Amino acid sequence: MRLRIPPRIKILEALSAIGDGRIQILDEKRARVVSSDGTREYNVYADLERMLVYSDDNGTRFRNYIGYPIIAFLMLKGALPLDKRLAEALRGIPWRELNEKFRSYAIVESIVKRIVRERGVDPRELDRFVDEVMHKLKRIELTYLRNPSATGDK
């Protein structure tokens, strides 16, 4: 199954995970990503030669879009743009808490933009960066791999 393009806010969540240092690269194709509140771990697999990806986050598994753990891993692998200054500005954002409290990506995004403005970053920079990543995601076709252990990769 081809994965859909994610909501724009997932790009910011991916950057935040990088800024927080919540991504552990296990090998060339595998990583582990810890959730913003530390209560969950997501397993990520990405084979960019075959355009196959896996993540056990809810967005990827149940909503069929490219989840933030995959996006973050692809950023660190150099397959997607990465702006370390923006990642730093997004450190410590309590994504799960905000998403559960407000249940609206638009509201959460406005809160996040207010936070980064207070940290000295113009929110328009975030918008431009998200546009760039979304453009790149639209040009690649990632297929969801239901069982990454079936690849034979070690």
Assigned domain for 152 exists: no
pLDDT reported for residue 150:
64
Residue 29 sits in which domain range? 9-147
Q: What is the mean pLDDT of residues 100-111?
A: 96
Assigned domain for 36 exists: yes
Assigned domain for 118 exists: yes
Over 80: is that where the pLDDT of 101 sits?
yes
Assigned domain for 154 exists: no
Q: What is the mean pLDDT of residues 71-83?
A: 97
- Do residues 65 and 52 lie in contact, with contact meaning Cβ atoms separated by under 8 Å? no
Assigned domain for 30 exists: yes
Short-list 38, 8, 15, CA closest to 121: 15
Assigned domain for 4 exists: no
Residues of the chain above pLDDT 70, percent: 97
- pLDDT tens digits for 12-56? 999 999 999 999 999 999 999 999 999 999 999 999 999 999 999
Of 143 and 150, the one with more pLDDT: 143
Q: How many CB atoms lie within 10 A of CB 53?
A: 26
User: How many separate domains does the chain show?
Assistant: 1
Residues of the chain above pLDDT 90, percent: 94
Please, how many CA atoms are within 13 Å of residue 87, restricted to the half-sphere of its CB?
17
